[in-house]
Amino acid sequence: MKDMMEYKGYHGSVHYDEGDRIFFGKVVFIRALVSYEASDAKKFRKSFEDAVDDYICQCEKEGADPERPFKGSFNVRIKPELHRKAALMADKKGISLNKFMAETLEKATK
């Protein structure tokens, strides 16, 4: 992915501030704010990994499960007419709307 790093299933953004000459980012696809920064690319990668490890460790200390991105469930807002068409197509195929949407997304993301 462009402008993205991955570590232990977590994804982090990559940004650069020319004025401060610093790389910065945050873990994305979770609600918790987990941020990191560094002055060069090698240290930046390490800062990201340390931030993820610290987040997981802090959750363990608090007795909480770390939030995981991509749980397999999400809400999509669409126009009622598209909802109707999708539901009718799923019914025509004899499958649930969830299964129809999963198959459609699978095809679209290949």
pLDDT digits (tens, 9 = 90+) for 75-88: 999 999 999 999 99
Residues 57 and 99 in one domain: no
Whether the model clears a pTM of 0.85, i.e. scores above it, the answer is no
In a domain, 100, yes or no: yes
Q: What is the DSSP string of 4-67?
A: EEEETTEEEE-EEETTTTEEEEEEESSSS--EEEESSHHHHHHHHHHHHHHHHHHHHHHT-PPP
In a domain, 67, yes or no: no
pLDDT band at 2 (very low <50, low <70, confident <90, very high): confident
The parent domain of residue 44 ranges over 4-62
In a domain, 68, yes or no: no
pLDDT digits (tens, 9 = 90+) for 13-45: 999 999 999 999 999 999 999 999 999 999 999
pLDDT digits (tens, 9 = 90+) for 49-103: 999 999 999 999 999 999 999 988 889 999 999 999 999 999 999 999 999 999 9
Residues 23 and 46 in one domain: yes
Residues 57 and 10 in one domain: yes
* Residue 108, pLDDT score: 96
Residues 57 and 83 in one domain: no
